Every structure is written in structure tokens, then in C-alpha cells.
Structure 1
Amino acid sequence: MKRIRFLHMILALFVGASAAIAQSATINSLVLTADTPWVVHDSRPKSIEAALDDIQNDWYKVFGRPPNILNSLPEEYKGPAIYFGNFPDSVISNVDRSALTGDESFLVRRHIDDKGRDGIVATANDDRGIIYAMYTFAEKVLGVDPWYYWTDHEPERRSSISVPNAFDVSSGPPTFTYRGWFINDEDLLNLFARDPVQENVFSLEMFDRVYETILRLKGNMVVPATFPFPDERCYELAARRGLVLNMHHILVLGLNTYRWPSQDAVFSYIQNKELMEQHWQTCIDAFKDYEVIWTVGYRGMHDRAFWNWETGVDTDEKRAAVINGAIARQVEMVRAKHPDAKFIANMWSEGAKLYHDGYIKLPEGVTLVWPDNGVGKIRDRGTVQAGQGIYYHTAMMNRRANQLTELINPALIYSELGRFVKAGATSFLLNNVSDIRPVPLSTDAFMKMGWNAESYIDDTPKVNEKEFMLDWCQRQYGEELAPELAELYHRYFYIPFTQSNPGYKHGKSVLHLRIREMDDVFAGLVLDDKPVPEELVKMAHVNYNYGAKSVPYVESLLKDVEAMVSRIPENRRDFFRGHLLTQTKLHLYSLYAEQNYSQAVLKYAEEDKATSIQHVEASIQAYEDLFSTLGDAEYGKWAGWYRGEAFNKIFHNYDRVCVVHARLTGQPEPLIRNVRDYEEIEQFQDRFSENFPLLYPKAK
């Protein structure tokens, strides 16, 4: 009994002490309300002004009132305040800046000044660091998801926010010096956010959202579009936002080769060297007021090797000599205007082979950037060296990848980027995100690794992936369901057919490609009432077997994903449906379409026309279910999101399967929709063609 009473006494003391600690924490915590003033430096660049406007919107979403913004606090004011920017001690004293150890470093912390006034200070070494500090305040204090626009994740409305005593976020300098996105193959964004004045591939309002997201994720660089001219407003807006400008591997120095006026001159540095250099100089001049990382190199038009337009350069040695000469001249021209310019050379496609074989030689001061293979494996062959960089894809538009869905699992990102971090190859990190909305999870993992690899480098990629998936699900859906949801996401990233080709992951696009490849032959055979050749039979068998074991896997996954929908918090349910549910269904219905078309070919070869028709009808139904799935993901602000789909050719595929059905059943053939291509997407540039290599007339 004495022992029991003693334990009760100890328990009572413990409970009392805990209550006292909790009360003390409550008393000492900083409470922010809608009336807590902001102190912001009155002299600030446009980039900080834009970020300030964003976090004012954040504040309004949370508190329902705009912030009270001052240049300094009145002497008599004794309450809390929030400080954004770099201030002298006369404005806010006793700020410990020892954590600011390099470029873009920042801190956001609880601070009490020498007058005893409590508050939060968000400061940094430089303008970009201040921007990161402001967005970090929005994320960590106001609860604003950096991805809020793309994930439909609005912050909770609050009357007050308690900030704990120990609140202190300091970060930087970053692991990778330059970190950013390439907005590529933007067919969805093109129609979803049309530019009302038709001078950009999509609206400047949407570009501004993209740039905001990059900065909220602590990126600092952008390649804004696939085929922009160097004076397009998307570049100007990015610079105003404080982003470094870069050009991708086709548009070296910003020259829009897609719009090269072939009717006037052959695209050739060999045949038209003087003209090419004139255009390069015009592009250099167009970027004169911006912070730029210049991409140098030499490729042909339409993302192809230049020798497709040349004769006489029939050896690797000759080809590399042309590329080396072009790069050397480009560097010389830029340095004549900008002696301290920074350069990268992206060894995309043929460039990687020529470099590996020892033919391409880069001038001093040009950073070698290794590309991946489009689906996450970097092409350095294990030869990466310190100072080099990465061009990566979490979204890829080609016939076998994933432009509409997530594909690149975080473990692959941690493995590949980790190799470069360990080698000290952290100069440059560019990620191709295509239309952005389909790939927030993988892109978030990529950006976090790019900013601070120390958090990941000591663990295995699989461990990092597991922890990231859990963290992602906690942030998006809450802690209660996060473990179950993380397991569902993990299963999604390991659908069997996506793993079937070691070294080259396949996305659902490959399923639609296989249908087209069969249809190229089969549709004509049906029309002409000819037998199926053995080659097509073999192709259909291969295609059927390719997806067969993935069907039950994805069916099981979809069943579990659908069962989770009603358990997702109501305010996060739309995103869950638009992300994991939609993408799981897209894989399943794409598999159904491919499996049934393969079976239709095989049954027709067996002269079982009736069963062949049934399989074609099942393939058509799969496409109709796929379209319904896309429609379900076009809720609210996303209405019409998939209208611009062109590069996966899913609407085109559907029409082709319907034509085969008509031929099998003797019905009138439907018309096949035209496939949108770059010519249509970039049509807004047509009326400016006389201004090449600029969009607008050159200033006189």
C-alpha cells in the first residue's frame, strides 16, 4: 500500500509539473493575430515586392484581413511584430546572423529586441534569401503549402497562431548552386491558360504562378518554355521575380531554332556561319539586363543532331569539331559583353556519346551538364566529376514515358542525385516538369534534395523514399492516414510494367504507342480483308504479355485507393482523386485498352471475327472510361485541364480504334481528329515571323 501511495504521489507531482510547464509554454508563446504588424524595408527590389504580395495573400487567406505593413514600429508600441528583410540595429536589434553562412542562406526565428518586444524576424544574406525567408514564414507559421495552387491545398482560416519559444528555422547555403525547372512540352498549359493577347505560349498570370512555386520550393532558375524567343515576356517576368534565366539544349544562347526561317537560309553553322553568329549576337543583346546561365552547344532544328541537315560531316570527329567550334565562338561572344558570364553545356542525346568518346572538348569555365535518359537515369556512365551538373526529368514527353502521370519514384531521385552530391557535382540542377500538375510528388522530392542533400545523403535511397512518402502524405492528408496512404503511393510507383525494362522506366504512354504500332498494320488489313502476317501476331503476343501481369496488380491497387476516398479529409479529397486515384485509373484503363487491342488482333488472326470485335469494343470502352477519369479530375478551377492533350495522342488513339471497329462491323468510318503539334501550340508566333530571331521588332 505504501508503494502504491508513493507512486500516486509521484504521479501527482509529475502531472502538476507537466501542467505548470504547459502553462508556462502558453504564457511565453508568441501569439500572432490579424492585427500583428509587419515591418518591411521601404526600399526593396521588384523580386521581393512580388514575394511580399504573395505572402500578403497568404495572410489574408488565414486571417481574413490584410496585414498592417509599416517601415518601422512606433516608439510607444509594445506588442509583437514580424520583420521581413535586412534591417539595421536601429530598427531591430540583437539579431544573431551567425547562421547566415553563404549565398541564399536565410533564417526565420522568434526574436525579442532590446526594448523587450517579441516577434519574428525573417532575414537573409541577399535578396533571394529574403524571398525564401518570406515563403518559409508562410509555410512554417501560416501553414501554406508551397504547392498550394497545384495541390488545391489552401491554409486553414485562423483567428490566432501560437508560435513556440524555440521556433527557429535557418537554412542554406543550398547543396546545388542553381536549381530550377524547365517548362517543356506544355500542351495542357497552352489551352488551359491561353494568353489573351497571344504573345506567350500560355498566360503571364500562369507563368507567374509557376515562378512563385519555384521560389516557394527554394529554386532559383527557370527555362520558361519550349520554344520562346529571347524577348518574350515570360523571360522578363521570370527576371522580375528574381529567377536566373537559362535556355535548354535546343535553344543555345536563346536562339529559337524551331522558328528558323528556312525559306531564307539553310540552318547551318557550316554554310551560314556569319548569319548564325549575327542571330546569336541578337539573342545575347536581348538578355543584357538579366542574370543568365548561358547554354552553349550546337544541335539541329527540332531537337535533332545537326548533321541531319548537313552533308560531309560523316564521322564523329568531324561532327564534334563543328560543335566544339560553335561552343568556343559562343563563349567568346558572350564574354565580350559579360566577362563574368556563367555557362553550361548540356550533353543531351548525341552529345553524351561524343563526350564519352572523347570528341567534345569544353572551354574553360563551361560547366558540363549530364542529362538523364528522360526517365531518371543519368547518362554519365559513372564518370561524374566535381563541378558538373544535372539535367533531369520528373515528367517526360516521349512515346514511352509519363507526361500525364507520376513515374519517377523518389528512391531513384535520391540514388541518382546522391551520386552527384557525393562527387561534388553540384553546380547545376535543372528538372523538366512539363505541365507540372501531374508530377508534384516526385518534383517535391527532387527540389528538397536539390536544396539540402545533407538530410538524405547518409541513408539508403529506399529509406529516404519511405520517409519522404510518409512526410508527403502527412503534409497533404494529415497524420492519421499518412502510413496507409504512403503504402498506396509506394505501390503505385512500382506497377510491374513500369519496371520491366532495367535502366529505362516505362510510363503509361508506352501502352498507347503499342496500340498505334499494331493499328498501323491491322487497320489496313481489316480494310483490305487480308490475313494477319506472322510479324503482327508476334507483336500482339508480346504486347499482351507485356501488360498481362500488371492488370491484376493495378486492379488491386485501384480497389484499395477507391476504398480510401471516403476516409480522406473532405478538404483534401479532390486532390486525392485528381492525383493518386486519377493516375491509378489512367494506368488501368490504358492497360485495358492495350490488352484488348492485342487480343483483337490475335482473334482476327485466328479468324474469330466476332470475338475480335468484342475486344475492339472493350478497347473503345477502356478509352471512354479513361476520358471519364480525366473529366473527374477537372473539378473546380481545373475545368478543361486536359483539353489540350496532344502528345500522348489518347484522343487520336480512340478515333483510330473506332475506325477499326467500323471496318470490322461494316459501319461508316468516323473521322479521325487532327493531332495538335508544336506548329499549332506555337501558332501565336506566326504573326511575328518577320522579326526573327526576336518576337518583337528590334529597337532602333
Structure 2
Amino acid sequence: MAGRIRIAVQGKVTSAIGHGLRMLIRDLHTVLGEMPEMGSHPTGWAQIVIRYVLPEDGCPDEPEAFGFRFKESASGPCMEIIGRDELALVYGMLYFTERYLGVQPFWFWADQCLPQQKRIEIACESYDSLPSKVRFRGWFVNDEVCLIGWKEPYPPTREVWLHVFEALLRCRGNMVIPGTDLPKTGVHFEVAEEMGLWITHHHAEPLGAEMFLRAYPGKNASYKEAPELFERLWTKAIEKQKDKKILWVLSFRGQGDKPFWENDPSFDTPEKRGAMISRVIRKQYDMIGAAVKEPVYCAALYGEIAELYKEGYVELPDDVIKVWADNGYGRMVSRRHGNLNLRIPSLPAEEDTGKHGIYYHVTFHDLQASNHLTMFPGSAAFIRQEVEGAFAAGADQYLLLNCGNIRPHVYMLDLLRVLWNEGKVDAEAHLEQFVSSYYTSGLKELAGLYRSYTEAAVAYGPNPDDLAGDEYYHHPARRIIGHWLQGQGAVADERLLWATGECSFLEQVRSFEQRCSEGLAQWTAWLDRCDKVIAGLAEEDKQRAADHLRFHGALHRSGCEGFLWLCRAYAAYAEGRYPQAFVCASLSMRGYEEGLHVLRAAEHGKWNRFYSADWLTNIESTVRNVDTVRRFLRMHGDSPEFFLWYKEFLMPETEKHIYLENTHRNPLSDDELAERLHAHFEQNGQLL
């Protein structure tokens, strides 16, 4: 095929098929340089025909099955993209652009270069898709602050969601939770429905209903006290969605995504808690069943509900897909709650019949050690083991993947694409395929960087999933600062016991210092290797490698450096060495500021402002916190003149006893004083 391709569609063009055509036409135009011609001309005119399956096609009798067929027409060979339903036709069109035009699933998010071609060669051989391993597979667009801050309007516009959902469809995903608690005025649900995706719900918002306290401000959010108010919200949600493609999530958690008994202490036993959850879920189930034809139900076995279910206190209807969750760090065990980390297996037992699925994270936000801005720190082999293990346990009907802000996580999202479609993956073969799909040079070296990324990660605990993401350097650091400046240093900070175990506050600080010292060396070595690889790449690959590899290592390194010097600042403070503590705090601030420079450097071209709403890891907040520490420390011995440390350490001895105050009392700024004191202490071996 070459030049102006002629395309015809047989049958009704639904909104989902219309979006598929939009993407097909755009990709043909991009690669061939000619805008395709659409028409409903007589048979034989089109070179590409898009239609539903006919009995004689022999296409697999599966939902979403698609294929390619070929025939000769009056105007030459004709390729037919066939599908059993609208999503199948969308998948067929997108697979056409991947297979024959080279458009990869994450072309937009990974800045793939698409070279123009004069013609494309297509062998006239029939093709049929294979059924996906997982029936319902998709993304939870969660903690999506980068998508929120990227463009000026709030909530995110259609432009943003089109790219999100296109990538999901290119992965052959078919369901989505489109965002987290976004305003009703947003178009996220509308665009997802237009593009043919099933909609599912957050486990804290069962049935997609409005949160109780939003609807009834000032009321006590107790189902025991006011069941009719909850049921009114559920009825409204069912009525609004009953004619749409919905995977109905049944659940009962408290307001703000926490156990409901935290606000109702009368539920003080597992029996009482399980009985209430079972009662509520059965009520939701019956309400949906009375209003919706052939509904698909899910129950999120998340957190405390999973524990109660495994202990036999929660009963679920037989046809509900039970959704098990990893711990946020990729391991299929219960998640850590504060300092409590029971690590109870989170998979169905052999005797647990019915349908099962999983909720899985390649990115997480937990105010402890999760990865939010950076790639998942574990290996592809680790994810393969966990997900394939879940499939082997029967949890293969549903896979909801926390995709975060997409751009930082394309490698692992692509790995999960293979897993949910094929049911297994060769991690090494996938890595080679992934690198060759998005880069044109240095493929072996780039694969080595992706592979060794996990080896550089900070191991903060004994388990293989205890690997630090970017939040490890910021949330614990800000906790330490708060504990310190509140004058609580005589006792340990209980909020940090998950990372340090039982010990004094100074020992807690020393523990983080040790981990970050090791991490600084590891990430520095990895970045050195990264810089050498990038220097040898073709020009078109250098920026991509900087954004999708170096970016992550640089954030880790800056976090390690900032946290390391913060810990040293506290140690010096505890010894009464206030000027040295001030210098260490300044070095900490400089380390953390480097993280801000890394974010800004990645905001070029279409990515302008992408990290502007970093409100979760919140590097800028850490910088401000450390600056507060620095100002606090200068009060210890340099106040009130803010000239005393200059006089003690920096003023020439010949001047100290004869200077006139009116010519020597312009205090140095914090930055200048820190820089000059640093040089003085380094020269005299007095810093550490």
C-alpha cells in the first residue's frame, strides 16, 4: 500500500469505532504522508474494509476477537479488518497500525519516532487474534497529579484522556477507573465510554456512588444508623449507569478509604465487622440485579476486607469476581498499615471456588517508601513471578493495574500488557523487544540499564519487595524534620518503626543515613553508566533515554543525597555541633533541589508542566522543610547578629580584634555562609 489509502466501513460507526478510525487515519497520514480517503463507494473501491465478522470468516467465537482477511477486488487487493464487536474492531485497527506501521502501544508516552515511509508491504495472509488470558483487564488512573497539573484546565481535558485511553486500548485493555475522585464536571467517564471501555469503580466508592459525606455533610456516615441514605446514593448510581458497560464493584469501607469501624467503635469484633460487610454487599448485589440485565459484579478484597474474608467472616455471592490486591510493592500479600506488616498471602485458597482477579500496582502512594514519580524498583522477573503465580491460583478473570501517571511507568505497563494478554512472559525477551521498539541505537547497553536499575535500588527491609521508591527519601525525611523541630528527639518517632524497628530517634536517623549512603553509591554508579550509554546513542534516542532512564536514577540519587545530609545534620545537632549541622542541612537542601532540576529538565516540548503538580512525593515541600531546618540551626549560635559564625570561623585572625561593627555587620546569606563554612570545615577536617 502507498499514497492515499482508501478506507470503507461496513455497518454502523459507533463512537468507539469512530475513535478507532480517527487513530487509524492519523497513523496512516503520519507514516505515509497522505491523508486516507474515507468513503462508502461500491464494493471493490476500498483498499481497507472494516466490518463485523461474518459466519464464513471462521473468526474465533470469543468476545473481542478480531482478524485480517484478504480478497481481490476490481481495484486490486483488499484487506478486511474484521471483529466480533466494537472493541474487537478497535483492537484490529490499532493492531494494524502496530504491525504494519510500527506504532507501538506507548508511542505517545515514550516519544517514539515514526519515520515516514513511501509504501508498506502487507502479506495477504489471514490472521486471527488469540483470546486474552484475562477477561477484564485495565488501568486504575490513580494518584494522577501529573495528568492534573500538566494542562491549565482542571479537571484534565479531553485531550489528556484521549492519549490515556488510546494507550490502554493499544495494550488491548478493556476496562478503566478513569481517575481518582475527580469533579463531576470532568469528561473522564464520558471519553472512556465513547472509546468503548468498560467502567469500573474504586473500592472506596462502591457502585460508583457519591461519597456519603459529600452528599450528606454533617451526617454520621453509619449504615447502621441511616441505611436509607446510603441506599439512596446507590440507587442513584445504578440508575445513572444501568445502560452502560459497567463492572459493578461491591464494597463497604469507611469515608476516606479506611475501615468503617474507625468511626463506629461498636463494631469491635471480626464477627460484627464481617457481618456488616456481608449484609451491605448483599444489599448492593440485589439492588443491581433488580435493575441491570446480566450485570458483572466484583468485590474488592482490599485491606481489612481481605483479612476478614480469609478468616471466614465475609460471605459473597457465588457469581461475584473476588479481586485480590498486592501490597502496593508488587507482592501478593496484605499491605502494610503504618507499622503493622502481617504479609498475609493475598490469593484465593485451593478450596475457594468462583471467579477471582487481582488489583496490582506498578506505582503506589503510601507516605512511606512507594514509587510514584519513578519506575517500579523491582525487577521484571519479580513481577512475572507474582502475576503468573496469581494466574496459577485462579485469579485470572480480572486484572486492574494501578498505572499512575503513565509516562514514568511505560516499561512495566508494557510488561503487564503481555501478561494479561498471553498469561506469561519471558522477561528477558520482553526487555529486548521493548528496547528495540522505542530506540534505534545502543540496544544492548540500554537493556542493561533497564536490567540493572533494580540492582541499584535501596533495600530498606528483608523482603524482596522492600525496595525504595522516590517517596522513601521524602515522607520519612519530613517526618524526621517534624519530630526534630517539635523537640521530640528524646523519644523514637513511632511513625518510622516500619523502616527502622525499635530503637532511639538518633538510631532511627542513623538507620536512614546508612541506607542512603549505600544508595548514593549505587545510584551514582548507575548514573555514571547511564551517562556513558547516552553519550553513544543516536541523537534521536538521547532525549528519550534521558527522560525514561536517567530521569529515574537522578531522582533516586538526589533523594539519597538530600536525605543522607539531613541525617548527618541531625547527628551534628545532637552533638551540639551547630555550625556543622547548618552546613550539612545546606548540603541536604542542595541535594533535594537537584530533584527539582531533574523534574524541570524532563518538561520539554509537549511535556511542559508535566511534573508541576508534584503534590504526593512533593520534592518542593521537602526543600522548604530542609530550609526551615537550616534557618532553625542558624539560631543556635549565630543569632541574633547572624555574624558570629562568620567571625568565629571565617574572619581573618588579624581582623577579629580590631574590626569596626559598622563596616562588618552585613550578615551573609544562608547559601553563602553555608558554602564558605563548608569549604572551611572540609579544609580543616571538621565537617563529620
What TM-score results when the alignment is normalised by the length of structure 1? Answer: 0.83
Residue 435 of structure 1: how far off its partner (Å): 1.4
3-state DSSP of counterpart to 2:133: coil
CA distance in 2: counterparts of 1:564 and 1:650, whole angstroms:
28
Any unmatched runs of 5+ in structure 2? Answer: 334-344, 493-502, 643-668, 670-688
Match of 1:301 in 2: 255
Q: Which amino acid aligns with 2:411?
A: L
Q: Which amino acid aligns with 2:363?
A: A
Is residue 249–residue 297 contact of structure 2 (8 Å, CA) maintained in 1? Answer: yes
- Partner of residue 641 from structure 1, selected from 580, 602, 610: 610
3-state DSSP of counterpart to 2:321: strand
Is residue 151–residue 609 contact of structure 2 (8 Å, CA) maintained in 1? Answer: no
Q: Do residues 428 (structure 1) and 386 (structure 2) align?
A: no
Match of 2:475 in 1: 513
Distance change (3 Å), C-alpha of 1:114 and 1:57: closer
Match of 1:177 in 2: 135
CA distance in 2: counterparts of 1:150 and 1:418, whole angstroms:
26
- Partner of residue 150 from structure 1, selected from 76, 85, 109: 109
Q: Do residues 383 (structure 1) and 348 (structure 2) align?
A: yes
Is residue 107–residue 169 contact of structure 1 (8 Å, CA) maintained in 2? Answer: yes
Q: Do residues 493 (structure 1) and 454 (structure 2) align?
A: yes
Match of 1:452 in 2: 422
Match of 1:191 in 2: 149
Match of 2:28 in 1: 59
- Partner of residue 83 from structure 1, selected from 28, 34, 49: 49
3-state DSSP of counterpart to 2:97: helix
Residue 194 of structure 1: how far off its partner (Å): 4.0
Match of 2:7 in 1: 38
Number of residue-to-residue matches in the alignment = 613
Distance change (3 Å), C-alpha of 1:232 and 1:187: closer
Q: Deviations over 1:525-553 (max 9, x none)?
A: 49xxx989892211111111122222221
CA distance in 1: counterparts of 2:256 and 2:152, whole angstroms:
24
Match of 1:403 in 2: 372
Q: Which amino acid aligns with 1:510?
A: Y
Q: Deviations over 1:406-434 (max 9, x none)?
A: 11432222112212322332111101112
Residue 569 of structure 1: how far off its partner (Å): 2.8
Match of 1:257 in 2: 211
Residue 514 of structure 1: how far off its partner (Å): 2.3
Q: Which amino acid aligns with 2:290?
A: A
Distance change (3 Å), C-alpha of 1:629 and 1:60: same
CA distance in 2: counterparts of 1:184 and 1:496, whole angstroms:
24
Q: Do residues 281 (structure 1) and 235 (structure 2) align?
A: yes
- Partner of residue 587 from structure 1, selected from 553, 556, 561: 556
Distance change (3 Å), C-alpha of 1:74 and 1:178: closer
Q: Do residues 159 (structure 1) and 118 (structure 2) align?
A: yes
Residue 493 of structure 1: how far off its partner (Å): 2.1
CA distance in 1: counterparts of 2:491 and 2:240, whole angstroms:
58
Residue 601 of structure 1: how far off its partner (Å): 1.0
Residue 213 of structure 1: how far off its partner (Å): 1.3
CA distance in 2: counterparts of 1:445 and 1:115, whole angstroms:
43
Q: Which amino acid aligns with 1:82?
A: I
Moved more, 361-370 or 373-382: 373-382
Is residue 231–residue 286 contact of structure 1 (8 Å, CA) maintained in 2? Answer: no
Is residue 139–residue 400 contact of structure 2 (8 Å, CA) maintained in 1? Answer: yes
CA distance in 2: counterparts of 1:619 and 1:234, whole angstroms:
40
Match of 1:562 in 2: 531
Q: Which amino acid aligns with 2:522?
A: Y
Q: Deviations over 1:445-465 (max 9, x none)?
A: 112210122x53xxxxxxx22
Q: Describe how 1:626-637 pairs up with structure 2 within 5 A.
A: 626-637=595-606
Distance change (3 Å), C-alpha of 1:665 and 1:169: farther
CA distance in 1: counterparts of 2:68 and 2:380, whole angstroms:
28
Moved more, 280-289 or 375-384: 375-384
Residue 190 of structure 1: how far off its partner (Å): 1.2
Residue 74 of structure 1: how far off its partner (Å): 5.7
Is residue 258–residue 302 contact of structure 1 (8 Å, CA) maintained in 2? Answer: no
Q: Deviations over 1:590-617 (max 9, x none)?
A: 0001111111111222222232222111
Is residue 230–residue 255 contact of structure 1 (8 Å, CA) maintained in 2? Answer: no
Is residue 377–residue 504 contact of structure 1 (8 Å, CA) maintained in 2? Answer: no
Moved more, 619-628 or 547-556: 547-556
Any unmatched runs of 5+ in structure 1? Answer: 1-31, 89-94, 457-463, 671-700
Q: Deviations over 1:374-414 (max 9, x none)?
A: 11112344535562000011111112201101114322221
3-state DSSP of counterpart to 2:514: helix
Distance change (3 Å), C-alpha of 1:65 and 1:600: same
CA distance in 1: counterparts of 2:30 and 2:476, whole angstroms:
47
Q: Do residues 665 (structure 1) and 634 (structure 2) align?
A: yes
3-state DSSP of counterpart to 2:120: strand
3-state DSSP of counterpart to 1:643: coil
Q: Which amino acid aligns with 1:84?
A: I
- Partner of residue 141 from structure 1, selected from 79, 95, 100: 100
CA distance in 2: counterparts of 1:574 and 1:165, whole angstroms:
38
CA distance in 2: counterparts of 1:135 and 1:252, whole angstroms:
33
Is residue 144–residue 154 contact of structure 1 (8 Å, CA) maintained in 2? Answer: no
Residue 118 of structure 1: how far off its partner (Å): 1.9
Distance change (3 Å), C-alpha of 1:514 and 1:228: closer
Q: Which amino acid aligns with 2:13?
A: R
Q: Which amino acid aligns with 1:419?
A: G
Residue 472 of structure 1: how far off its partner (Å): 1.0
Moved more, 220-229 or 321-330: 220-229
Is residue 11–residue 51 contact of structure 2 (8 Å, CA) maintained in 1? Answer: no
Match of 2:292 in 1: 338
What TM-score results when the alignment is normalised by the length of structure 2? Answer: 0.84
Distance change (3 Å), C-alpha of 1:635 and 1:531: same
CA distance in 1: counterparts of 2:292 and 2:460, whole angstroms:
46
Is residue 104–residue 174 contact of structure 1 (8 Å, CA) maintained in 2? Answer: no
Residue 501 of structure 1: how far off its partner (Å): 4.0
3-state DSSP of counterpart to 2:431: helix
Distance change (3 Å), C-alpha of 1:230 and 1:164: same
Q: Do residues 439 (structure 1) and 409 (structure 2) align?
A: yes
3-state DSSP of counterpart to 1:582: helix
CA distance in 1: counterparts of 2:250 and 2:53, whole angstroms:
40
Residue 261 of structure 1: how far off its partner (Å): 4.2
Residue 335 of structure 1: how far off its partner (Å): 0.5
Is residue 40–residue 72 contact of structure 1 (8 Å, CA) maintained in 2? Answer: no
CA distance in 1: counterparts of 2:602 and 2:393, whole angstroms:
42
Q: Which amino acid aligns with 2:128?
A: S
Is residue 513–residue 567 contact of structure 2 (8 Å, CA) maintained in 1? Answer: yes
Residue 68 of structure 1: how far off its partner (Å): 1.4
- Aligned-pair identity (%): 25
3-state DSSP of counterpart to 1:162: coil
Residue 232 of structure 1: how far off its partner (Å): 5.4
Is residue 139–residue 175 contact of structure 2 (8 Å, CA) maintained in 1? Answer: yes
Residue 658 of structure 1: how far off its partner (Å): 0.3
Match of 2:445 in 1: 484
- Partner of residue 324 from structure 2, selected from 343, 363, 370: 370
CA distance in 1: counterparts of 2:78 and 2:43, whole angstroms:
15
3-state DSSP of counterpart to 2:579: helix
Is residue 157–residue 186 contact of structure 2 (8 Å, CA) maintained in 1? Answer: no
CA distance in 2: counterparts of 1:292 and 1:428, whole angstroms:
13
